[in-house]
Amino acid sequence: MQTTTAEFKIQFHPDYASIQFSAMASPCDLLVDSQDPELIEKLALASVQETKRIENKFSRYLSNNLCHAINQSCGQPVEIDEECFRLLEFANTCFELSDGLFDLTSGVLRKIWRFDGSDNIATQAQVEQMLPFIGWQKIHYTENHICVPEHMELDFGGIGKEYAVSKVAELALKLAPSNSVLVNFGGDIQVSQAKAKGQPWQVGIENPDFDQQTTKLIAIRQGSLATSGDSRRYLLCDGIRYSHILNPKTGWPVQGAPRAVTVAANQCIQAGCLATLALLNGENAEAFLQAQNIQYWCLR
Amino acid sequence: MQLKQFKQINGALAAASCALVTGQVQAESSLLDDWQVDTAVMYYGETDRVKALEAVVNVNKDFGENHIFNGKLVYDALTGASANGAVAQPDAQTFTRPSGKAEYTIKGGDTPLDDTFRDTRVQINGQWTQPLGQNNTVTGGLHVSSEYDYLSMAINAGFARDFNKKNTNLALSLSYAFDSIEPEGGIPVAFSEMVYRSDYQSETDFWQSFNATRQSSGDDTKDTLDVIFGLTQIINRRWLVQLNLGMSQVEGYLTDPFKVVSVVDEQGYSVRQLYESRPDSRQKENLYIGSKYHFDHSILDLSYRFSSDDWGIDSHTLESRWRYNLSEFDYIAPHVRFYKQSSADFYRPFLNQQESVPMFASADYRIGQMSAYTVGLKYGRKLKNGHQASVRLEYYHQAPENSGYSAPGVLTELDLYPSLSAVILQFGYRF
Amino acid sequence: MKHHMIKVGFILSIISLSGCASLGVQPWQRDLLAEPEMSVSANAVDLALDDHIYFSKEGSSGGRSFGGGGCGCN
């Protein structure tokens, strides 16, 4: 049995139902241990709506949203809502906890770094031109307003998808309090709650290693998984491979980082942040993860 | 390859993530589930004096959303001797027991101790605490403590409010206690003279005189009102401070029915023993400042208390507990405490025969000038089953001091301010 | 007189503390403060046993919590 609308596709399987849609440049899947068509449709509608809402609000590719307003404000205060304030506070905590490695303002470096697999690396002069426009400490915000200096930008891309996964999982728990829902947005996964009988969900996630087009099957009972790293986005110059992870302090790609890091945590946003921070620690990624007392997988 | 030390940030990140997604602060869910029971057995032993054994069962139950019940049951048993207030003498002294039924004799040179000190006590407390609206907490409780000759009942209530994102907490707490005492042998008439069986020809004559030293009513009461105004302020992620201002008003029978004051002649010889007399009210004020600081592997708890009352006792207390985690599973906690008090205005180590008897007088060294210190060490360990066990050993030393009374004659040769040492050993178990 | 001094000092310190609304932490920075040992009521059993000893051996009591009546040991 299958229902397809313009926005989502529902399929019923022997012991679960799936909802598929596309958002945030990723395939989005929900798996629900229920056969109740009414519940599934309710979940599908709500999830699509919530995901699109977050995407429309925080995407930097749109020109009529809050993110755009903030980035085009030229130093003028922009009004923000409570959700935006919470995201800023979270980003602030990550910035402080990582001693400045996690920085929402580092997105401007993309203007000089294009990770297209070429040998087109930026020059130090170009990097130095951009550095004054990076630095979370230059952003001032209150519960109601934010001031972003001219030429600086915020990029929620690093946390937006994981945030959406966590929010949708939270929503799923409210709408289906007695079911387990697995939310999977392009490999960033969160389970709303464990299945009543405790069996794990089996999901295939794409192996991030480009050379092996394989799918890895993993079992997850509860909590979340997030993966950072993309082996398709890099630069290769004089035999050195430059990953797409940029150090906001130097403006240069981080060297010696694993190709991909997968982290398990309670919340997807938490796992995603830890995975990103691991990559930012370069060759010390494993040491960083080790100190966090969490489950992780590094692909080198 | 460089070896870099990474700090653990996952805990803070988890809390931040939870706050982001749910808009709420993560609850300490592991603590909410079950009853938490603390049990302890403590031995307290003074050299040659009081020995006590105290057992405590303390339960906490969270009924969800911070509706918390706390219940406590304490049992203690006390035996041994305690100073009766009389001065030491070069020769043996005989005293009539508070019951009047017997005598006891103290060797020359020794501090007079009444060795009939024996009591068991049971105490029960119940306390309910719950939120009231977004930022307020209310609490109320009952306390009953019962001994052979003493009963104390108290009620308390408190209101607290959080400000500034729960970083500041202001609390007002009140307690009212009603105590009644019915000592064996009745309540002595203030400054009446101790009578001795040997001075009378018949038992009837003795009892007639003994009863004349007793008030007609064999019991009396005491009311205590305590008010505490408290401020707790979080300074930063590692540091919080607490500030309390406490006031206590006590009315009623505040005298110790078992204590006497010696009247001595010009040579320092004791001529009679008078049952002590204290004022029937006392007002105390306290300032307490506490600080807790979290250094990743240890927590330092420092506090200072200044206390002052209208009896003239001012005291300073400085205390520190430092909990140092040896590993994930065990810790040690050294404890030190320094205490110093000035004497009550009516404290008199003895009365001189030639002076007139003052309005109030007590020779109880506990309201005289003294200093004291405690040193202790606690070791605690988390067991494999998740329970926690601890053992604590402490040494307490009290040094009563002369606050300026010159001792006549033979008293110069005697120790009028004997110091006291006690050992405290405690085992605790939490499950 | 002395008692009034205490009160004045106390009120002043309250004003200075509450005047610093910048003191404190965000809800998610409470990881260390949330540890049971950082609670002001941590070690309640030890503290109560100690209070009982010192109440019966010294002239002052209370401060951290109520110091009134309770038993006939003093």
Instruction: Write down how long chain A is.
Output: 300
Residue A84 domain-assigned (yes or no)? yes
Nearest residue of A to residue B7, measured between CA atoms = A291
Range of the domain at A116: 66-155+228-299
Which among A231-245, A282-296, B199-213 has the top mean pLDDT?
Answer: B199-213
Distance CA A261, CA A256 (A): 13
The burial class, CB within 10 Å (0-12 / 13-18 / 19+), for B405 is middle
Count CB atoms within 10 A of the CB of residue B204.
9
pTM of the full structure: 0.65
Give every strand in the sheet of A145-147, ordered side by side: A78-79, A145-147, A140-141
Backbone dihedral region of A106: left (phi > 0), alpha (psi from -120 to 50 degrees) or beta?
alpha
| Cβ partners under 8 Å of residue B275, min gap 6 | B188, B189, B190, B191, B192, B193, B194, B213, B257, B259, B260
Last residue of some domain: A193, A215, A250?
A: A193
CB contact under 8 A, C29 and A89: no
Strand, helix or coil for residue B209: helix
- Tell me the chain B residues in contact with residue A98 when contact means C-beta distances shorter than 8 Å: 9
Contact yes or no for A160/A59 (Cβ under 8 A): yes
Q: Mean pLDDT, chain B, as a whole number?
A: 92
Q: Is A288 on the interface with B (CB under 8 A)?
A: yes
Of the pLDDT bands very low, low, confident and very high (cuts 50, 70, 90), residue B235 is very high
Contacts of C29 in chain A (CB under 8 A): 93
Residue B371 confidence (pLDDT): 97
Task: Give the tens place of pLDDT for each residue, A77-111.
Answer: 888 888 999 999 999 999 988 888 999 999 888 88
Helix (H, G, I), strand (E, B) or coil at A96: helix
ipTM score for this prediction: 0.89
Contacts of B44 (CB under 8 A, 6+ apart): B50, B51, B52, B53, B54, B422, B423, B424, C53
Tens digits of residue pLDDT in A242-278:
777 889 988 888 888 888 888 999 899 999 999 999 9
pLDDT at residue A219, as a whole number = 81
Structure tokens at B124: 């029960």
Indicate whether A143 and A81 sit together in one domain: yes
CB contact under 8 A, B56 and C49: yes
Same domain, A168 and A270: no
Residue B427, pLDDT > 70, answer yes
- Helix-strand-coil percent breakdown of chain A, rounded to 5? 35, 25, 40
Cα C48 from Cα B421, distance rounded (Å) = 20
Structure tokens at B359: 């309005």
Q: A265 vs B14: CB contact, 8 Å cut-off?
A: yes
Q: Which residues are within 8 A (CB) of C12 and not within 5 positions of it... i.e. 6 or more apart?
A: none
Q: Read off the pLDDT band of B30 (50, 70, 90).
A: very low
Is residue A199 a part of any domain in this protein? no
Interface test with chain A among B2, B3, B5, B13, by most A beta carbons within 10 Å? B13
Instruction: Please name the member of A93, A166, A274 whose beta carbon is closest to the beta carbon of B10.
Output: A274
Q: What is the pLDDT of residue C1?
A: 47
pLDDT bucket at A189, cuts 50 / 70 / 90: very high
- C-beta atoms of B286 and C63 within 8 A: yes
Report the candidate in B274, B281, B261 with the shortest Cα–Cα distance to residue B221: B281
Tell me the C-alpha distance between A160 and A178, whole Å: 27
Share of chain A above pLDDT 70, in %: 93
Beta-carbon contacts of A225 under 8 Å, excluding residues fewer than 6 positions away, are: A187, A188, A189, A190, A205, A218, A262, A263, A264, A268, A271
- Measured in degrees and rounded to the nearest 5, phi and psi for residue B341 equal -135, 150
* Nearest CA distance, B267 vs chain C (angstrom): 31
Number of other CB atoms surrounding residue A102 within 10 Å: 22
pLDDT score, position C32? 80
Write the burial class of residue A13 (CB in 10 Å: 0-12 exposed, 13-18 middle, 19+ buried). exposed
By Cβ distance, the residue of C17, C53, C63 closest to B244 is C63
Q: What are phi and psi of B70, to 5 degrees?
A: -125, 130
How close A180 gets to chain C, by Cα (Å)?
Answer: 27
> Are residues C63 and B307, on separate chains, in Cβ contact within 8 Å?
yes
Residue B56 makes CB contacts below 8 A (sequence gap 6+) with: B38, B39, B40, B41, B42, B72, B73, B74, C45, C48, C49
Best A85, A97, A142, A296 member to test B by mutation, with max B CBs in 10 Å, is A97
| pLDDT at res. A128 | 87
Nearest to B381 by CA among B427, B330, B429: B330
- H-helix or E-strand spanning residue C50: helix C44-57
pLDDT at C3 exceeding the cut of 60: no
- Split at pLDDT 50, 70, 90, the class of A45 is very high
Nearest to B71 by CA among B95, B101, B37: B37
> Which amino acid, residue B75?
Y
The answer to whether the CB atoms of B290 and C64 lie below 8 A apart is yes
How high is the pLDDT of residue B31? 40
Residue A207, domain member (yes or no): no
Q: Do B17 and A288 touch (CB under 8 A)?
A: no
* Best of C18, C43, C55 to mutate (most B CBs within 10 Å, chain B): C43
Mean pLDDT of B57-81: 90
The region of weakest confidence among A88-97, B173-182, B403-412, C23-32 is C23-32
- The CA distances from residue A161 to A109, B421, C49, in Å, are 20, 67, 54
Residues of chain C positioned with their CB less than 8 A from the CB of A93? 26, 28-29
**Taking CA atoms, what residue in C is nearest to B301?**
C38
Q: Is residue A234 domain-shared with residue A272, that is, in the same domain? A: yes
Among A147, A170, A193, where does a domain finish?
Answer: A193
Helix or strand holding residue B22 (H, E): helix B10-22
CA distances from B185 to B102, B191, B215, B234, B410 (A): 11, 16, 10, 53, 32
Residue A202 lies in a domain: no
Write down which chains contact chain A via at least 3 CB pairs under 8 A: B, C
Residues in chain C: 74
What would the mean pLDDT of B19-23 be, rounded to a whole number? 81
Same domain, A16 and A77: no
> What's the confidence (pLDDT) of residue B323?
96
Q: Assign B331 to helix, strand or coil.
A: strand
**pLDDT (0 to 100) of residue A213:** 55
- Closest C-alpha among B356, B357, B344, B358 to residue B403: B344
Rounded CA gap, C17 and C33, in Å?
Answer: 19
Domain membership flag for residue A215: no
Q: Taking residues A215-239, report their average pLDDT.
A: 78
Tokens of A106: 């580092």
Question: Could you tell me if residue A50 is inside a domain?
Answer: yes
B99 vs B94: CA distance, rounded Å: 15
Are A70 and A143 within one domain? yes
Q: Would you say residue A89 lies in a domain?
A: yes
Overall average pLDDT of the B32-50 stretch? 86
A85 and A108 assigned to the same domain: yes
b/e code B366-383 from CB counts within 10 Å (16+ = b): bbbbbbbebebebebeee
Identify whether the C-beta of residue A257 lies closer than 8 Å to the C-beta of residue A237: no
Q: How far apart are CA A244 and CA A272, in angstroms?
A: 16
Tell me the pairing of strands B260-264 and B351-352: parallel
Residue environment code for A258-294, b if the CB has 16+ CB neighbours within 10 A, otherwise e: bbbbbbbbbbbbbbbbbbbbbbbbbebbebbbebbeb
| pLDDT confidence of residue A117 | 72
In this structure, are A124 and A237 located in the same domain?
A: yes
CA distances from A12 to A34, A183, B257, B273, B341 (A): 9, 16, 85, 97, 80
Instruction: Please report residues of A whose CB lies closer than 8 A to that of C26.
Output: 89, 93
Length of chain B: 431
Q: Would you state the pLDDT for residue A1?
A: 60
Domains and CATH numbers, chain B: 36-430 (2.40.160.40)
Predicted local distance difference test score (pLDDT) of residue A150 = 87
Whether residues A125 and A232 share a domain: the answer is: yes
CA–CA separation, B223 and B246 (whole Å): 16
- Chain B positions in Cβ-Cβ contact with residue C1 (cut-off 8 Å): none
For residue B65, what are the contacts with CB-CB under 8 A and spacing of at least 6?
B131
With respect to residue A201, please indicate whether it lies within any of the assigned structural domains. Answer: no
Percent over 70 (pLDDT), chain B: 97
Quote the CA–CA distance of B84 and B258 in Å, as a whole number.
7
Is B316 a residue whose pLDDT tops 90? yes
Task: Name the pLDDT band for A40 (thresholds 50, 70, 90).
Answer: very high
A90: chain C residues, CB-CB within 8 Å: 28
- Which residues does chain B have within 8 Å of residue C4's beta carbon, measured at their own beta carbons? none
- Tell me how crowded residue B61 is: count the other CB atoms within 10 A of its CB: 14
- Subunit contact B1:A170, Cβ cutoff 8 A: no
A120 and A80 in a common domain: yes
A268 shares its domain with A141: yes
Based on the domain organization, do A147 and A166 belong to the same domain? no
* Confidence band, pLDDT 50/70/90 cuts, at residue B66: confident
Mean pLDDT of B79-86: 93
CATH code for the domain in which residue A91 is found: 3.10.520.10
Task: Measure CA A3 to chain center.
Answer: 29
Residue B29 has pLDDT above 60, yes or no: no
Q: How many domains does chain A have?
A: 2
Chain B hits for C59, CB-CB cut-off 8 Å, are 311, 313, 315, 341, 344, 366-367, 370
Same domain, A175 and A142: no
**pLDDT value for B27:** 41
